[in-house]
Amino acid sequence: MQPETLLPVCEGVDVVVSAVGNNQVTVPGQKNLIDAAKQQGVKRFIPSDYSVDYRKLDYGDNDNLDKRKEVFEYLQQSGLEYTLILNGAFMDNVGTPYMPRANASKF
In 3D space, the residue among 40, 67, 69 whose CA is nearest the CA of residue 54 turns out to be 69
Is residue 104 assigned to a domain? no
Q: pLDDT digit string (tens) for 54-73?
A: 998 899 998 889 999 999 99
In 3D space, the residue among 82, 52, 80 whose CA is nearest the CA of residue 65 turns out to be 52
CA-to-CA distance for 49 and 40, rounded, in angstroms? 22
CB neighbours of residue 7 within 10 Å? 15
Q: pLDDT digit string (tens) for 16-59?
A: 999 987 778 889 999 999 999 999 999 999 999 888 899 988 99
Which CATH number covers residue 40? 3.40.50.720
CA-to-CA distance for 28 and 51, rounded, in angstroms? 19
Is residue 102 assigned to a domain? no
The DSSP letter of residue 57 is S
Partnered with residue 15 across adjacent β-strands are: 44
CB neighbours of residue 33 within 10 Å? 25
Number of structural domains in the chain: 1
Is residue 1's pLDDT more than 50? yes
Confidence grade of residue 97 (pLDDT, cut at 50, 70, 90)? low
Q: pLDDT digit string (tens) for 85-94?
A: 988 866 555 5
Is residue 85 assigned to a domain? yes
CA 6, distance to chain mean position in Å, is 17
Range of the domain at 67: 3-89
2 vs 97, which has greater pLDDT? 2
Query: What separation in angstroms does the CA of 39 have from each of 67, 83, 89?
Result: 23, 19, 33
pLDDT at 21: 78
pTM of the model: 0.80
Is residue 107's pLDDT more than 50? no
